[in-house]
Amino acid sequence: MTHETATGNADYYLDITSDICPMTFVKTKLLIERMSSGEIAEVRLGAGEPLENVPRSVVEQGDQVLCLTADPDHPGIHVLRLLKR
């Protein structure tokens, strides 16, 4: 997993900052299932379990985490960019 600044446009956006596990990955997985191979999604998630579990689960199901960064304007919020394989 690379930690770098998220840049560029995504094909899909999802905000799961108000959700708790396991719904955070359920919503992310449903989004990935709608995506086509090669598309990029940007997912906003909170610290704690979502930050630990969602990126790991994305990789475990065979997709790629492009970057994971802290949102400098919103403490405790992170931005995950993923690539559907």
pTM of the model: 0.88
Residue-wise pLDDT for 10-51, tens only, equals: 999 999 999 998 999 999 999 999 999 999 999 999 999 999
List the CATH code of the domain at 12-83.
3.30.110.40
Encode burial over 69-84: b for 16+ CB neighbours within 10 A, e otherwise.
eeeeeeeebbbbbbbb
| Eight-class DSSP state of 42 | E
Catalytic residue (one of 6, 10, 21, 35): 21
Tell me the domain boundaries of the chain. Answer: 12-83
Q: How far apart are CA 55 and CA 38, in angstroms?
A: 17
Active site residue 21: yes
Rounded CA gap, 57 and 65, in Å?
A: 10
Neighbours of 5 (CB within 10 A): 8
Looking only at the bridges linking them, the beta strands covering 40-46 and 77-83 are: antiparallel
